[in-house]
Each structure stands twice: as C-alpha cells, then as structure tokens.
Structure 1
Amino acid sequence: MIRSIITGTGSALPVRRVSNAELAETVDTTDEWIVERTGIRFRHIAGPDETTATLAADACRAALTAAGRSAQDIDLIVLATATPDQTFPASATKVQAMLGIDDCVAFDVAAVCSGFLYALQVADSMIRAGAHNRALVIGAETFSRILDWDDRTTCVLFGDGAGAIVLEGEDGSGERGILATKLHADGRHNALLYVDGGPSTTGTVGKVRMKGREVFRHAVVNLATVMGESLAAAGLSSDDVDWVVPHQANARILDATARKLGLAPEKVVVTVDQHANTSAASVPLALDTAVRDGRIKPGQLIVLEAMGGGFTWGAAVVRL
C-alpha cells in the first residue's frame, strides 16, 4: 500500500506588512475594533511585482529545500487558489515554468478557503493510485486584488500569501502520512460568501461580499463536525491529536471550534493575528510557521481543517 507523506513545508509572504493602525488611516475602522472582533493585527499586501504565482513559486522553493528535493523531482503540481494570475491558463503552470520544470501535470483547484484541503486530497489520491510519485501541493492567494476597500466589514479580514508542501508516495507500512481526509460542499449558501463578478456573468473580476454572522455560525458547526469525521475515519479521537492547524479566518471561530471539540487552546496553531485570512494559503502557511518555529515535530499527529465560500469545508488527519 502506498501512503502520501509530507516531507517538506514552505511559505511566502509579500514584502509589505500592514498593521491595523496603518489600515485605519484609509479605512473607517480602528485597531481595537478589528482585534476585538477578529484577533487580526497585521496582514501582508502584495506589491505590483508580486502575484499569486510568484508567491506560490517562492513557497515551493522553500518546501523543496526543506524536503531535500529539487524541482526536477516533482511530477505533479496542484495549486489551490481563488485569485489566479489569469482566467487561464492555470497558475500552476506558471509556477511550473518558474521552477524550471519542463514537464509535469499541473493544474489549479478552486474551493476558496478550503482549497488546500481539496488539493491535498486530489494529490493524495493520485499518488496512492500510483499515477504520480512526488507532488507540490500549494495554497496561494492575492485576495487584496478582490477586496472592496470601502467595505470595512470585509477588507480588514484578508491578506495575501502562499504555503506549500512536498507530498511523496512511500510504502504504507509506517505510521507517517495522510491517514484520512473528509470533504464537503453545500452550494445553497452561495449568497453568504461570494465574489460579485466572474467571466461568464459580469465579465469582471468582482469583489468579495460576505454576511459574517451567518458564516461564523456555519463555520463553527461544520468545522467541528468534519474534524470529528476525519478522526473517526482514521480510528482516532481528539485525545490523540497533538496539533490542530485550522483555517485562519477569525480567532473567535478558532476558539469556538476548539471548545466544541473539547480541545485545549494550546493545541491550536494560531497565525491569524499576523497574517489575517489568506484563504487557501492559510492552512499551509500556518503549518509551515509551526513546523519552522519548532512547535510541530516529526511523528506528531495533526489535523488540518478549513471552511470557505461555496460553502466548502474539509479536514485531514496527518502524522508528520
């Protein structure tokens, strides 16, 4: 049996770091208002020369170095994003070219904030089927490009960034690897979190629109449920978990989800205060942060989880 294991993590952030106080100079808000409601203190905003693909490529380079691999070892690239560089071709192919890979399978996955979990399951399935040996799985976003900076209820929540992992197929006799994944979607809730544009409707990119209170309610229930499902599928319980690496949308959602599962707050990786909501990038970005600062160690059991527009949501149980 082949099992997919994570052998390296990486991340990248735009150079410009924006505090709540700086944001309050142009947006009708305050540092106190943002922190109290979201826990966010900073976000990174992409500059003119920084795009979803350039950030993704930088994150991939870091992940490859951590894994001790070269770009030529990769035969699959799956990039999760809601903010591609172009309508087509896939931004994954731009990353492929930037990394100097002449030929490999490369495509994008669109599931917004849950995108990395969707991309992870796709790559895991392709590796376990024997179709590919070594993949780059990426979450990358430049959400600042689709924000309405006059809407203080949404523009303060998001930032830009990228995270990536190297996922490799190995003999499944060991304990490491992706043990279980669970994904869901419910398109009936489109109107609660969406972008008001698109190529086949308005012919424009559009801006993010959200009904925050309703999204919060669904997020807490859905995330706690899918985490329980994924642990049950792996034959484990919350007592077995060393770390939860959640989608970094709102500190209150993180706290409420942990309480619902009976998890100690110190087991939850939190980066939302430093990076804000980076959509599909938030889970791999938080994972890389916690791996590099020594919190997450080899052999530990982690649960990755996210929910985003669609609604889509999912979770994965992984032993590093």
Structure 2
Amino acid sequence: MTSKITGTGNYIPSETITNLFFDKHIFMSEDGSLLKEDNASITSKLQKITGIEERRYAAGNQVTSDLGLIAAQAAIEDSGIDPETLDYIIFAHNFGDVRSGTVQSDTVPSLAARVKHLLKIKNNFCVAYDVLFGCPGWIEGVIQAHAFIRSGIARKCLVIGAETLSRVVDIHDRDSMIYADGAGAVVLESSEDGAGILSHLSASHTFKEKDYLYFGKSYNNESCPDTRYIKMDGRKIYEFALVHVPEAMKQCLDKSGYSIDQLNKIIIHQANEKMDEAIVQRFYQLYGTSAPADIMPMVINKLGNSSVATIPSLLTMILKEELENHEIKEGDIVLFASVGAGMNINAIVYKF
C-alpha cells in the first residue's frame, strides 16, 4: 500500500508585481551603505540570474491561512471527498499569518486549525497541525501524510503549502525582489493500484549551514533594530544546493527502483531559475548523461518564489493543463525536490 494524490488545488494571487515596482526602492548593503548600481541595473541583474520578471502578492485583506483555505477547497473539490473524512490537515508555512501593514507573525492557533475551522469540519479526530521546514515544508508534509497512511492510522490527508513572503521582506534588501505569495494543496489517499509515492528522502544540514537563511535586521540602519526580516546568504545557498540537492535526488530515484531514462518530469522548488537549471544538469551528470530540454517546468519568471507554495502550485497548473508544453500522463514518473532554510533538502519519486 502507498499513498497517492487524488486532488490538487492552488491559489495564485491576482496582484501582479513587475520589476518596475522596485524602481523607486532604496537598496542598501548589509553595512547600510547605498548600492552603487542604479535600480534598473539591479533588477536587470536579478532577472538574468533568477529568471523573475514578475511575482504575485496577496491582497491587503488576505493572510496566509486565507490563501491556504482557497487552495484546500480547490483540492478537496477536485478529489471529490467529504472533508469530514479527512484524518489529517497538514499546513506547511514559515511565518504564519502576517497582516498587511504589520510585522507581527500570528501562529496561534495553528494555520491548519484555522483552515479546518473555515472548512467547517466537525470531526474532532481530523488532526490539524503546521509544519515549519523552510521551502521544503510542503514536500515534508506530504512525506508525513504518506507515513500516516502507510502505517494505517490515516486514509485521507490534506497537505497545504502557503506563504505571504511579501510581508516579511526588508524593502532595502535587493533579495526582497525574489519573494512572492501563493498557495497550493493536495489530497492524499491510500492506494493499492500501483500509483503514488515510490520513495522519499529528507535531510537537514545544520552543522555549518543553519544560518544560510535567517531572520535579520533591516539594511537601513535607521529602521527599528528590533524588527527582523527574511535574509539569506545567496552565494552559500547556491554552492550548497549544487552539491547536495543532486545527490539527494539521485539517492531518492535509486531507492524507487526506476532509472534516469524512465523519469518523465522533475518538479523542483522554484527558487532561482539559474540555480534550478544547474541542479538538474548536475543530477543528470551523476548518471553520465544530460538533462532533456523539457524535463523541468519553470514558472518562477511570472510567479516568483513563494516558498512552500511553488511545487503544489506548479503541479496543479500542469495537471489542469494550464502550462504550455508540459503535461503529466498516467504512468509518468515524476521527481519532486526542494531545498531551503535549515538547510533542509527533500525529494519524492511519484508514479501517476
């Protein structure tokens, strides 16, 4: 017995933020000095490296749990299940509900509990909890749901990934341009028809890598020193990812019993287009071959990096035939992979 996806849903906010949005920003270095480049050069360089032309931000009256609810409702409808039959609701995020115009994170009660309440589920034995695992949080939630189903203590699980990173960025840090908002969700059910999760792998690199992504003060020294924002050491993350993510992907694929030439699609966390392309090429090099041109769909150019939401959002778009030149057919073998704060890495090999 394994677990398989029986429903998918996503929510892509309607507010489109192009690179021109940052034209008047005052970007600074970590020491508080102004960057020497003009903003047009800064955004052009960002687009060349990350591929991001635009991103989506949530509406002012929305918080992360609102986005997650919409994606969850779509996944439940797609699966055709009765929400009362859910055994678990697992909500992956990193910063909780942060209301527009504020900097305070609200995580009590859990976002999963809020979604369960809004879904009007009366079943007290539907357990709702959150997962904080960096950008790989949604995949980790799926792995946990899979473990519950394999153990026999659950038959149906809802796994949500949602984030409003636009609420936790330092506007004086050029890295703030990468981040976006969004949500995605899936329903997982027990399966014995051969389709579903074939293998999975998770790892946490914390000995030297713990603070590659962290919460730090604004680069503007005149800002409140007690307010913290998402920060990253981009160079160290890039170097770390290119070494460790391909190795993890290979271990996961090898555990599945399938070969590299049987792989139909790689759905990777939309973090940085250049980095993701390098990861996939290095993964194929471990097998002594090159990556096919159409193996990895990318939407970061239009949606930005919405952390835990990128993979379930992209999966939904492919299955709903909303992404040109990409499809997933019955019997296809798909490798999911992610890397993020922690530094955490995980992967799943899945047969549709």
* Fold shared per TM-score above 0.5: yes
Deviates more, 1:156-165 or 1:87-96: 87-96
Aligned match of 1:200: none
Q: Give how far 1:206 is off.
A: 2.2
Unaligned runs of 5+ in 1: 198-202
Q: Give how far 1:144 is off.
A: 1.0
Q: What fraction of aligned residue pairs are identical, expressed as a percent?
A: 30
Aligned match of 2:306: 278
Matched, 1:305 2:325: no
Aligned match of 1:195: 215
Q: Give how far 1:170 is off.
A: 2.1
Aligned match of 1:133: 155
Task: Write the distance in 2 (CA, Å) between the matches of 1:194 and 1:238.
Answer: 35
> What SS does the aligned partner of 1:266 have?
coil
Change (3 A) 1:205 1:125: farther
Q: Deviations over 1:138-165 (max 9, x none)?
A: 111111111001101x101110001101
Residue 70 of structure 2: which of 58, 63, 75 is its match?
A: 58
Aligned match of 2:173: 151
Q: Deviations over 1:19-70 (max 9, x none)?
A: 1122334355334222111101111112221111010010011111221223
Change (3 A) 1:15 1:114: same
Matched, 1:206 2:228: yes
Q: Give how far 1:17 is off.
A: 1.1
Q: Give how far 1:116 is off.
A: 1.0
Aligned match of 2:89: 77
CA contact (8 A) 1:71 1:101 kept: yes
Residue 241 of structure 2: which of 219, 223, 239 is its match?
A: 219
Matched, 1:266 2:294: yes
Number of residue pairs matched by the alignment: 312
The normalised TM-score by structure 2 is 0.85
Deviates more, 1:28-37 or 1:276-285: 28-37
Matched, 1:37 2:58: no
CA contact (8 A) 1:258 1:265 kept: no
Aligned match of 2:266: 244
Task: Write the distance in 2 (CA, Å) between the matches of 1:7 and 1:185.
Answer: 29
> What SS does the aligned partner of 1:245 have?
strand
Structure 2 counterpart of 1:21, which letter?
Answer: L
> What SS does the aligned partner of 1:236 have?
coil
Task: Write the distance in 1 (CA, Å) between the matches of 2:109 and 2:94.
Answer: 14
CA contact (8 A) 1:250 1:272 kept: yes
Structure 2 counterpart of 1:223, which letter?
Answer: V
Q: Give how far 1:205 is off.
A: 6.7
Q: Say which structure is richer in helix.
A: 1
Residue 253 of structure 1: which of 258, 262, 275 is its match?
A: 275
Task: Write the distance in 1 (CA, Å) between the matches of 2:196 and 2:209.
Answer: 33
Q: Give how far 1:272 is off.
A: 0.8
Structure 2 counterpart of 1:9, which letter?
Answer: T
Q: Is the radius of gyration larger for structure 1 or structure 2?
A: 2
The normalised TM-score by structure 1 is 0.93
Q: Give how far 1:207 is off.
A: 0.5
